[in-house]
Structure 1
Amino acid sequence: MPDQNNRIEELNNKLEKLLGKQEGFAKELMSLYQEIEALKKAGGGIKEVGTINPSPTKEEQPQMASSPANEPIKEYLQEPIDAPRPKQEEPISIFKQPKTKSNWEKFIGENLINKVGIIITVLGVAIGAKYSIDNNLISPLTRIILGYLAGLCLLGFGIKLKVKYENYSAVLVSGALAILYFITFAAYSFYGLFPQIMTFILMLIFTVFGVVASLNYNKQIIAHIGLVGAYAVPFLLSNDSGSPEILFSYMAIINIGILFIAYKKYWKPLYYSSFIITWLIFGSWLAFSYAYNEQRTIAMMFSLLFFLIFYATFLSYKLKASEKFKKSDIVLLLSNSFIFFGLGYGLLSESETGEQLLGVFALGNAILHFMVSLIIHKKKLADNNLYYLVSGLVLVFLTIAIPIQLDGNWVTLLWAFEAALLFWIGRKKNVIVYENLSYPLMILALFSLFHDWTLGYFDNIGLDQGMSPVLNMTFLSSLLFVGAFSFINWLNTNTKKENTVAPNNTIQKIMSFAIPSILLFVLFMGFYLEIQYYWETLYIGSEIPIVEENGYDYLKHNTDLRDTGNIWLINYSLLFISILIFANIKKIHNRVLGIVSLTAGLFAIFVFLTMGLYTLSELRESYIDQNLSEYYEIGFFNITIRYIAFAFLTLLLVSLYKLIREPFLKINFKIPFEILLHMTILWVASSELLHWMHMAGSHQSYKLGLSILWGSYALLMVILGIWQNKKFLRLVAMILFGFTLIKLFFYDIASLNTISKTIVFVSLGILLLIISFLYNKYKNRISDEETN
């Protein structure tokens, strides 16, 4: 206890010392606050600026010195430590520099206002000129002279200001150039004051001056307002008196100036503006003012001229600077080419002579692009992307020329081979542009093949000049199409690792699946349609007129031919899927193909068990009845064909059995397949039972025979389930026996005689007893199996 009391007293002494120190700190803090307040009052002008936040008032300041010594320590530590400190602030306002103009203010004051001003000035001159023209205030010659004086004065004033105010001077020069353009155009087109040669010379001079000025100032604004703005001149003064030849010649001169500027500077906004405005004006004229018979030559000539100007404009800088291609470049080049082709195609289609030249026109486009690509490649004027793009246009227009000039299967074959060639170049030469160009050609070739199939296999049926089976152009087209796509698929499969340009976009990923899918589809359908066409031709060829005793006559066909054809179509489908599965197992080892073939195999089995067995029963009934035997030979092949079909079904089941055990499939389908196998065997056995009972003349096949068969097969499945320790087989057997009993009580006994009922009931009863005996005898084995 004494030691504890001493320790407490020692701690109290330390506490009193600390409280004393704390009180001293509080006094020092208060003196600092008072000094700060005095300084603030001395600099009253500074306080009004608001750069220093006001300090707490005396009422808000903590009174630490008066705190009693025995209060908790936290009250002494609360306010002084958290007291506000003066912020690091900007220099006092009296030392601040005046604020500079913001960027927006600079942009509006120095750039935007002068451009808006010159545009408004030009519009004002145009409106005033139009008003004077409409009201005949001044003579035409005076109008032209005043216009030239206004333009030249503005031009001289702009040039004079170039040294000190270059940007402002550029705007004035461009406005003056636009005025000189429109005055010259008006003098020739509306008043006839200038001859044609003089007008073109003046416009050429203004264009050269605009080019030189824009290059000298290095300002796009001159080219925009002076050249592109000149497009608006004919429309501002238009009174429907001008001719399209003059308008388009005027526009061509402007575009030639843009071509030269583009070669020097490649100002893209200038090129874009000129491109859009030119084709809009030309297209509007075609839509609203074009006279079909009188102006077709003018339209073709100027559309070609504009196309060549923009083509040269686009290529000039690319060839000079070897600049890398961008998406916008591709869009521009393709847009220019296809706008010209579309306009030319439409103009030529208007006349009979032009329609015969459509293929030549498309071929001419291809030749033009080919010459450009050849020059680029031989002289190595630009990067490979430009060469590939122009070469791609060659192939595109060749592709378009094919269906225009040719018809029939040649279109399909040329497109398919062209797609294969492009894909080969794209993969082997690592040129992704060519590979991308091959994709639309593949789709075009596929749809063209669909068209060929429609014309060959459906429209020709029953015609005297119909195709001969197998040896026909349609089937040959299918085989050659398969050959082309086999080559493409081989490249797609075997060159991925070598190709540095791996599929990296959605289209390429889709096509990597679409190519083998198209190949398999066409390979299957090529033979399928040929088989169908053969039997359908025989069916239509079997037509005979039948005249009854009452004089009523009609046409009759041998329906056995159509049924036989349907069975062979099913047999072919089973064989095709089986071969595909075996090829995948032995060579390809592709999981996706395995899943597809497994799904197709299951669907083919379902079709066989439903439509196939029903068609086989129709052939059997025809053989038994012999209704039209006096007209057609109905032989024993109606019976034997069912066993040929069973052989194809067996082949497919064997192939599926091997497929589901392949490790690359990665699907546990063994139990479902075994159930499917037993159901298929039972279904076929039931059909076979019905077949031979009908052949024997029995009328109880659907009742007596099926019930006994199903019960017996259920017993067999129970035995197999116990023997092989497969519970699912025993469960399926129980379900099958349940269906058999339902059939017995709700269908069989309704029309069976006493003997038949006795046979069915006794047979099923014995089968049930046997099943029960087996369960009792092997109950320990079944129990151990379930435990395991």
Structure 2
Amino acid sequence: WIGIFVFAAGFATFLKYAFSQGWLNENVRIFLGFLAGFIFAGLSHHFYKRKYYALSWGFFSLGLILFYLTVFTAFRFYKIFNSRVSFILFFAITISGMSYSVKRNSFSVGFLSLLGAFATPLLLADPSVQIYYEPKLFSYLLIINLGVVYISLFKKWRALSFTSFIFTLIYLGGWFLEEYRHSDFKLALSFSIIYFIVFSFIATFYSLRRKEKSNEEDVILAIINPAFFFFIFYHLLITEGMKNLLPLIPLFISIYHFILAFFVRKLNSKDILLYYALSGTSIGLLTLPIPLAVQNYWITLSWAYEAVILIFAGILFKRITIRTGGLLLYLLVILRLIFRDPFISYNGEYMIFLNMRFLAMFLSCLSFPTGAMLLKNSSLPEDEKNYSGYLWGIFLMLIFWIFNFEIISYFTSKVSLKDLSLIFTSIFWSIFALILCQSGGKVKNQFMKTVGLALFYITFFKILFIDTFIYEFHYGFPFLLNLKFLSLVIFLFSAGYIAWFYFRTEDREVGKILSIFIIILLFTGMSEQVYSSVNYYWKKSQQLALLLLSCFWVFYGFVLLLSGIIKKNIFLRVSGLSLFGITLLKVIFVDLQSINMLYRIFLLFGVSIIFFTSGYFYRRKGII
């Protein structure tokens, strides 16, 4: 083969040198070129009879190369042949080479003939020649591809099919980019559809007719063929202003590939690789009509319930590929719900939760439990049924995300209410944590309970360090009857209910932790309400605020102490006594130095009465 290419290069150099030196006339040179080609073809036949197959194929390939070079020289340099004659000769050489390759079982000759066939339009390319342009180019490419189909009937040379596809793409794509005009629409669309069908047939031919397993070339061709022609059809319709027809392109291609996958499954069930490739391509194409027809969050909503339909269809028809396609489509829904849809802004006013963006996202989230219930109630294997748990988990995560984002985005868009997002997120977190813990307990799902408890802990620290001390606005009546205190009450109720729930089970430690959270938050929240309502809102003196704060601390400590005595709970008793000590230090070092004489007398008498009463109960219960 090295010798063949070296000889061909030498012959080409000879033709060029003979042309420059004026040796012989042009007709003689062309005659010698054809003569040399026929001589090598004859030698090929001679050596084939002697069973020197490799040498025979090499000589015939050399003859083909000489024929191509001779015709090209006669056309381009000597102007002996016009474009029509040259095209006929090129075509005849190609057909001869392909026929020889099939008859002599020579892949190399077939491949070389195919390269020559696709090189012909380039060899004839000239501003005065129209062979490169439609409709001749389209017809010529179709003939070549049908020739490849013909070879496929006899030989398993998949590389020829793939090579033919690549060169067709190059020519067709180049023509669309450089030469396409409005008047070419029908012609271009017709030939594109024909090419698409031809290559889909080539990709599935070995599986459907020969009942063989497909290899990598078949699978790649089955995938990239619809992908490329989708862009061709898309470009054609966009150019012609037919945007309303765009969703039909992937829909029809998807249906076509579903049909191909069905026949592959029916006629050659062992070809799993091609079946999955066709099914996966079809499912992937099904995701495209929606974004071509609608926009924004409607894309997500449509994909979400398309995933439900695919899961249902996969269960109904017992096809794992369809079910898998539905689950994979959920991934796109998740990505859009997290990174795309929440950030779609409104230009005007809108109501929180009662707007199309949130409703569309909420309905999209509801598709996940729908898919989960379909999987759970099916007759699928247990490993597939287990996916329902993951879908429920994703649903809860997405619900938490979209509600938080809706609350934050709504209130931050209004300057006067932007800090309300802190209050309402705390309310939502408390309720959501309660739902997680309660639901997890009912269905005995430890993961849900763990997530719910973690959210309780996070909410506790958020209220304690952010809402209580950093966020100073109450939004409502200064003392207790305000949104800030409402968020605290909702957390206390939620945490108290879950603490009671855990106290009834064996995991009492969790109940104790939540009880501590309740005691701490009730103390800090009430303290903040007392001090800020008197000092900031009612504009009373700071002395009165300090006095009332100390009174509340003593009262709160007394309640803790009394509760600890009655329930015989040492933690409550110690907490109450500790708060007494802190209050006493506050009275001595802060209050007595800051408040007037009347307030001092009232404070000291009040504190002493509480201390005496506490000691009485301690003594009565026999604790000391």
After TM superposition, the score normalised by the length of structure 1 is 0.63
Q: 2:367 aligns with which of 474, 481, 484?
A: 484
Is the contact made by 2:407 and 2:421 (CA closer than 8 Å) also made in structure 1?
yes
The alpha carbon displacement at 1:743 in A equals 6.3
Structure 2 counterpart of 1:681: 522
Structure 1 counterpart of 2:109: 222
Structure 2 counterpart of 1:582: 438
Answering whether residue 501 of structure 2 is matched by residue 648 of structure 1, we say: no
Amino acid across the alignment from 2:300: T
Is the contact made by 2:212 and 2:268 (CA closer than 8 Å) also made in structure 1?
no
Answering whether residue 190 of structure 2 is matched by residue 335 of structure 1, we say: no
Q: 2:214 & 2:581 partners in 1: Cα distance?
A: 73
Gaps of 5+ in 1: 1-114, 504-508, 540-556, 625-635, 782-788
1:271-323 Cα shifts (integer Å, max 9, x gaps): 44444455456656777xx2465897587676655544432211111212333
Structure 2 counterpart of 1:424: 312
Amino acid across the alignment from 1:595: T
Q: 1:177 aligns with which of 53, 64, 82?
A: 64
Structure 2 counterpart of 1:120: 6
The alpha carbon displacement at 1:161 in A equals 0.6
Name the CA shift for 1:354/1:429 in 2 (closer, same or farther; >3 Å).
closer
Name the CA shift for 1:118/1:673 in 2 (closer, same or farther; >3 Å).
farther
Q: 1:741 & 1:116 partners in 2: Cα distance?
A: 104
Structure 2 counterpart of 1:599: 454
Structure 2 counterpart of 1:499: 381
Structure 2 counterpart of 1:402: 290
1:690-743 Cα shifts (integer Å, max 9, x gaps): 366467746346634444544665676677778878777678778867876886
Name the CA shift for 1:294/1:475 in 2 (closer, same or farther; >3 Å).
closer
Q: CA RMSD, aligned part only?
A: 5.1
Is the contact made by 1:181 and 1:203 (CA closer than 8 Å) also made in structure 2?
yes
Is the contact made by 1:563 and 1:615 (CA closer than 8 Å) also made in structure 2?
no
Is the contact made by 2:101 and 2:109 (CA closer than 8 Å) also made in structure 1?
yes
Structure 2 counterpart of 1:260: 150
Amino acid across the alignment from 2:97: G
The alpha carbon displacement at 1:208 in A equals 4.2
Is the contact made by 1:389 and 1:433 (CA closer than 8 Å) also made in structure 2?
no
The alpha carbon displacement at 1:591 in A equals 2.0
Q: 1:657 & 1:192 partners in 2: Cα distance?
A: 100
Is the contact made by 1:578 and 1:651 (CA closer than 8 Å) also made in structure 2?
no
Q: 2:327 & 2:298 partners in 1: Cα distance?
A: 19
Q: 2:313 & 2:400 partners in 1: Cα distance?
A: 28
- Larger Rg, first or second structure (1 or 2): 1
Structure 1 counterpart of 2:473: 618
Name the CA shift for 1:181/1:262 in 2 (closer, same or farther; >3 Å).
farther
Tell me whether 122-131 or 752-761 shows the greater mean CA deviation.
Answer: 752-761
Is the contact made by 1:675 and 1:729 (CA closer than 8 Å) also made in structure 2?
no
Is the contact made by 2:203 and 2:219 (CA closer than 8 Å) also made in structure 1?
no
Tell me whether 221-230 or 694-703 shows the greater mean CA deviation.
Answer: 694-703
Q: 2:52 aligns with which of 133, 154, 165?
A: 165
Name the CA shift for 1:273/1:183 in 2 (closer, same or farther; >3 Å).
same
The alpha carbon displacement at 1:219 in A equals 3.6
Name the CA shift for 1:129/1:335 in 2 (closer, same or farther; >3 Å).
farther
1:47-91 Cα shifts (integer Å, max 9, x gaps): xxxxxxxxxxxxxxxxxxxxxxxxxxxxxxxxxxxxxxxxxxxxx
Q: 1:648 & 1:141 partners in 2: Cα distance?
A: 102
Name the CA shift for 1:701/1:426 in 2 (closer, same or farther; >3 Å).
farther
The alpha carbon displacement at 1:337 in A equals 2.0
Structure 1 vs Structure 2: percent identity of aligned residues? 27
Q: 1:269 & 1:667 partners in 2: Cα distance?
A: 70
Q: 1:520 aligns with which of 386, 393, 396?
A: 396
Q: Secondary structure at the match of 1:618?
A: coil
Is the contact made by 2:91 and 2:117 (CA closer than 8 Å) also made in structure 1?
no
Alignment of 1:219-258 (within 5 A): 219-228=106-115, 231=118, 244-245=132-133, 252-258=142-148
After TM superposition, the score normalised by the length of structure 2 is 0.77
Name the CA shift for 1:563/1:125 in 2 (closer, same or farther; >3 Å).
same
Is the contact made by 1:707 and 1:743 (CA closer than 8 Å) also made in structure 2?
yes
Alignment of 1:365-444 (within 5 A): 365-370=253-258, 372-373=260-261, 386=274, 389-407=277-295, 409-426=297-314, 429=317, 431-444=319-332
Q: 1:499 & 1:233 partners in 2: Cα distance?
A: 57
Alignment of 1:299-314 (within 5 A): 306-314=195-203
Is the contact made by 1:574 and 1:648 (CA closer than 8 Å) also made in structure 2?
yes
The alpha carbon displacement at 1:169 in A equals 1.5
Is the contact made by 2:291 and 2:299 (CA closer than 8 Å) also made in structure 1?
yes
Q: 2:198 & 2:20 partners in 1: Cα distance?
A: 36
Q: 2:100 aligns with which of 213, 220, 226?
A: 213
Amino acid across the alignment from 2:367: A
The alpha carbon displacement at 1:682 in A equals 1.7
Q: 1:663 & 1:276 partners in 2: Cα distance?
A: 68
Amino acid across the alignment from 2:391: I
The alpha carbon displacement at 1:261 in A equals 2.9
Q: 1:737 & 1:498 partners in 2: Cα distance?
A: 64
Alignment of 1:11-50 (within 5 A): none
Q: 1:135 & 1:742 partners in 2: Cα distance?
A: 117
Q: 1:233 & 1:204 partners in 2: Cα distance?
A: 8
Amino acid across the alignment from 2:524: W
Q: Secondary structure at the match of 2:295?
A: coil
Q: 2:152 & 2:284 partners in 1: Cα distance?
A: 27
Amino acid across the alignment from 2:330: M
Q: 2:593 & 2:30 partners in 1: Cα distance?
A: 111
Is the contact made by 1:422 and 1:435 (CA closer than 8 Å) also made in structure 2?
yes
The alpha carbon displacement at 1:157 in A equals 1.0
Is the contact made by 2:468 and 2:524 (CA closer than 8 Å) also made in structure 1?
no
Tell me whether 159-168 or 365-374 shows the greater mean CA deviation.
Answer: 365-374
1:244-275 Cα shifts (integer Å, max 9, x gaps): 33667655544433333334333334444444
Q: 2:23 & 2:315 partners in 1: Cα distance?
A: 73
Name the CA shift for 1:657/1:133 in 2 (closer, same or farther; >3 Å).
farther
Q: 1:601 & 1:582 partners in 2: Cα distance?
A: 13
Is the contact made by 1:178 and 1:227 (CA closer than 8 Å) also made in structure 2?
no
Is the contact made by 2:207 and 2:264 (CA closer than 8 Å) also made in structure 1?
no
Tell me whether 228-237 or 148-157 shows the greater mean CA deviation.
Answer: 228-237
The alpha carbon displacement at 1:599 in A equals 1.9
The alpha carbon displacement at 1:472 in A equals 5.4
Q: 2:452 & 2:266 partners in 1: Cα distance?
A: 50
1:206-262 Cα shifts (integer Å, max 9, x gaps): 444434433333343222333246545666887777653366765554443333333
The alpha carbon displacement at 1:653 in A equals 0.7
Tell me whether 701-710 or 379-388 shows the greater mean CA deviation.
Answer: 379-388
Q: 1:135 & 1:248 partners in 2: Cα distance?
A: 40
